[in-house]
Amino acid sequence: MAVYAEGHGEDRAHGRTSRGAGVADEVYAALDLGTNNCRLLIAHANAEAATGFRVVDAFSRIVRLGEGLASSGRLSDAAMRRTLSALRICAGKMRRRGVTRARAVATAACRDAVNCEEFVARVESETGICLDAISGREEAHLAIHGCAPLIDPCRADALVFDIGGGSTEVSWLGIDPGDGALHLKDWRSIPYGVVSLAERYGGREVTRETFARMTDEVSRALAPFEADNGLNARARNGDLQMLGTSGTVTTLAGVHKRLARYDRDVIDGVFLDMPTVHATIDRVADMGYDERAAHGCIGRDRADLVIAGCAVLLALCRIWPVAGLRVADRGLREGILYNLMQPAGTVTGRDLEARAP
């Protein structure tokens, strides 16, 4: 079964995504292949559900597709084999569930690798999945769509960020006081993610000095975005809300909640005040590798990456000192699903990309 890249619409330019617009008997699939993870959601449209769809199957596996990419510029043979193994499972699930509309996207690792086209062709040949290596801007758009229900419409501005494996996307959204519609004001992608930072600085044993250097480097990369937009003042006067979607923020929320095992139902949408965010970052940064690996919300697969994620998050929170952080265990996959469920003829993601700032 070939899984073709579909169009991905929006109900109004940079607006909130409508819910339950899909056809009930269609089976939708959204696949997000990141630098670190391979994630799949399969769903039916359901107007009565809070999300607008009902999940019928899901899959997530850490594949580390971007392992070694920063130094070689290529996807390694081992990383491609791991990823293909996961994608075969995804393809099998889509076949068994009778998927009728799907989109599969690949992010930083694929768009940065010199052998991206070779890998994409191999994926299609061996699994039937047509991967679409999307730009950082489109990645940010999809994350915004996926997280829109968690944004407070009564606040003037929102900063949405996605800490990935190979990059971090930051989006500034204005919120219409009349109908709560979201308008993208500016966006930036910086080449700092948990995999790229951990490979450069180390991830197993990270001293406080190394952690500080990571944080400072990410802060310097974010500084031009702040200089262009002056969001620090909005953060200090309470006009700016912050929402994070990534394994880093969900992991930290699980650590803060002292969960024995990660539970999405407990974490998605939770609000962490800023003293709690800083205290949890410190707690994780002070853990040794074995302690991180043994923690039910971190585990061995993330134990050497989570401190790099903490450095990115700390840089974000220092530049924009908001009162707290909304945590989203949702993002690209949900954004893809919402867009697949839009009626034909709506604005496409590439149209939006062409006219976005």
CATH number at 77 reads 3.30.420.40
> Do 95 and 17 fall within a single domain?
yes
Q: Model confidence at 181, in pLDDT bands (50, 70, 90)? A: confident
Q: To which H or E segment does residue 142 belong?
A: helix 136-147
CB 56 within 8 A of CB 68: no
pLDDT at 178: 78
> Do 132 and 155 fall within a single domain?
no
pLDDT at 343: 63
Q: Model confidence at 61, in pLDDT bands (50, 70, 90)? A: very high
Q: Is residue 194 part of a domain?
A: yes
Which domain-ending residue is among 84, 111, 137? 137
> Do 294 and 185 fall within a single domain?
yes
What's the whole-model pTM score? 0.82
Instruction: Please state, in angstroms and rounded to a whole number, the distance separating the CA atoms of residues 335 and 353.
Output: 15
> Do 242 and 317 fall within a single domain?
yes
Q: Is residue 314 part of a domain?
A: yes
Which domain-ending residue is among 85, 109, 137? 137
Residue 14 vs residues 78, 224, 349: alpha-carbon distances, Å: 39, 23, 10
Q: Is residue 127 part of a domain?
A: yes
Is the pLDDT at 14 greater than 90, yes or no? Answer: no
Q: Is residue 243 part of a domain?
A: yes
> Do 168 and 235 fall within a single domain?
yes
Q: Is residue 321 part of a domain?
A: yes
Q: Is residue 352 part of a domain?
A: no
Total domains present in the chain: 2
> Do 192 and 320 fall within a single domain?
yes
Instruction: Please state, in angstroms and rounded to a whole number, the distance separating the CA atoms of residues 124 and 174.
Output: 39
Share of the chain above pLDDT 70, in %: 88
> Do 157 and 198 fall within a single domain?
yes
> Do 91 and 194 fall within a single domain?
no
Which domain-ending residue is among 74, 108, 137? 137
Residue 109: how many CA atoms within 13 Å on its side-chain side?
Answer: 30
SS3 48: coil
Quick one: tokens of 342? Answer: 């839009």
Q: Domain of 289?
A: 151-328
> Do 164 and 87 fall within a single domain?
no
Q: Is residue 344 part of a domain?
A: no
Rg (CA), the chain: 19
Residue 196 vs residues 191, 287, 306: alpha-carbon distances, Å: 8, 21, 12
The residue among 7 and 138 whose pLDDT is bigger is 138
pLDDT at 106: 95
Q: To which H or E segment does residue 350 belong?
A: helix 349-355
> Do 156 and 130 fall within a single domain?
no
Give the torsion sign (CA, 343, 344, 347, 348): positive
Q: Is residue 337 part of a domain?
A: no
Share of the chain above pLDDT 90, in %: 71
Mean model confidence pLDDT for the chain: 87
> Do 265 and 323 fall within a single domain?
yes
> Do 212 and 294 fall within a single domain?
yes
Q: Which CATH number does the domain housing residue 275 bear?
A: 3.30.420.150
Q: How far is CA 32 from the centre of its chain?
A: 9
